[in-house]
């Protein structure tokens, strides 16, 4: 089995939350188009708020993953140079 991409793995919880927010938006607007003028503004506010709340979480998880990858690569280079 292949190793999962660490960047995707770090982003997965935030991406899942955004997809669930889109799903909730679809549910919240309802199936009656005659009521969409009333339901879409509130549902859109909830959707945008949920997505905006994911930005700091996504940035933190991606930054931590990137920092770990950089440190691992630097450690490999340092080890190679010490043995040279």
pLDDT in tens, 4-32: 888 888 899 999 999 999 999 999 999 99
What secondary structure does DSSP assign to 15-30, as a single string?
A: HHHHHHHHHHHHHHH-
36 found inside a domain: yes
Q: Is residue 28 part of a domain?
A: yes
Residue 1: what pLDDT?
A: 62
Q: CA-to-CA distance for 35 and 48, rounded, in angstroms?
A: 20
Which pLDDT score, from 0 to 100, does residue 39 have?
95
In angstroms, rounded to a whole number, what is the distance separating the alpha carbons of residues 14 and 12? 6
List % helix, strand, coil for the chain (3-state, nearest 5): 90, 0, 10
* Residue 39 near residue 48, CB atoms below 8 Å: no
Q: Which domain holds residue 53?
A: 7-83
pLDDT, average across residues 53-81? 93
Number of domains in the chain: 1
Interval 28-42 mean pLDDT = 95
Which segment of 20-24, 25-29, 49-53, 64-68 scores lowest on mean pLDDT? 64-68
What the block records as the tokens of 1 is 């089995």
Looking at the domain assignment, is residue 18 inside a domain?
A: yes
Any idea what the Cα angle at residue 39 is, between residues 28 and 31, rounded to 5°? 60
pTM of this prediction? 0.74
């Amino acid at each position: 089995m292949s190793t999962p991409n660490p960047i995707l793995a770090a982003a997965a919880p935030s991406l899942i939350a955004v997809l669930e927010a889109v799903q909730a938006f679809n549910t919240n607007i309802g199936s009656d188009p005659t009521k969409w003028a009333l339901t879409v503004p509130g549902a859109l506010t909830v959707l945008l708020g949920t997505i905006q709340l994911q930005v700091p979480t996504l940035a933190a998880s991606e930054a931590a993953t990137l920092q770990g990858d950089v440190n691992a690569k630097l450690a490999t280079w340092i080890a190679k140079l010490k043995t040279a």
